[in-house]
Structure 1
């Protein structure tokens, strides 16, 4: 059955927000970043939601938005948060509603892409500061170890360690015949 939602999953820095809009443009779809939608609805940055209300609150809001808004869309490329599919039955809901693509990158590449980002709450210390590089790398490895079993259940797996154009071409080839 052809589907009209394409979901992008992967770790922070894997390229979801970069690849997503360009892929949507190639497909003639619209693009939605779930984290941006959450920030709009909550009126706060993700990092502030985590700090003020905690991860469980955030995951519950994320799930509610997924069910009440995102899954009802058509002809969209949707960038999910890095942990979205690890919570509750979100993986099942996403795969039932569309094609799930895992954007992969090795931990060293991810570290280089995100080591200066201050908007990634799971990569900050308790004071909201960027972790030292060694601790940051350990945190990436730890989170990847927990999330990878979920990511690997995606319908399509694509490395983002090549050019953006090559990555999009590979995704388009793998999507052929699978979307409406």
Structure 2
């Protein structure tokens, strides 16, 4: 399947807690590609955690750094599997770059699944509010229409990561086959 990507990376998008990193690592291993996590790359470059960046420099600074890190990762010669942060795909420049250099996969999860998962990691800066449930609902409302622009959508649910991985591989395979059949058709002479 990696050869069907034609040098493009696979970019996982979706909300915090959707499983982008967990599934991305497994997908990279299965396809023999390198896995990269945009948030981890940002933390390494800044020598701070995401929460610390938000607290000291603000969200706008973080989003600019995120955009630049993703652009750097997608400019590499070899394709990778890239897990992005929840807000990364909301940036128009980042979406355009992902469309140009990658295949985007939205790991879509329902509110209750996301809430259960993010409660386990209390360091999510966007949920440090008096009403994390309300905040998450607002983020879902704002982001899901944009996430829906991804090339592939796969439901992330409370099952083993391997099950979601198989769903991702199947959906990606279907997408790549459809893409290949559309590009191999001869032009009409009419």
TM-score, normalised via structure 2 length: 0.84
Checking the alignment, whether the CA contact within 8 Å between 1:3 and 1:178 is kept in structure 2 is no
User: For residue 71 of structure 1, what is the aligned residue in structure 2?
Assistant: 74
Runs of 4+ in 1 over 4 A off after TM superposition: none
How many residues are paired up? 170
Unaligned runs of 5+ in 1: 126-130
* 1:37 lines up with 2:41 in the alignment: yes
Q: Distance in 1 between matches of 2:155 and 2:53?
A: 30
Please give the alpha-carbon distance, in whole angstroms, between the structure 1 residues aligned to 2:16 and 2:42.
Answer: 16
Which whole-Å deviations, capped at 9, do the CAs of 1:41-70 have from their partners, x for residues lacking one?
000000000010100000111111122x11
User: What is the RMSD computed on CA atoms of the aligned residues?
Assistant: 1.6
Q: Distance in 2 between matches of 1:103 and 1:77?
A: 14
Larger radius of gyration: 2
Asked if residue 87 in structure 1 is aligned to residue 84 in structure 2, the reply is no
The structure, 1 or 2, with the larger RCO (C-alpha pairs under 8 Å, 6+ apart) is 1
The TM-score, its normalising length taken from structure 1, stands at 0.89
- Counterpart of 2:166 (choices 158, 162, 169) is 169
Residue 97 of structure 1: CA displacement?
0.8
Residue matched to 1:178: 176
Ranges in structure 2 where 5+ consecutive residues have no aligned partner:
178-190
Who is 2:133 aligned against? Answer: 137
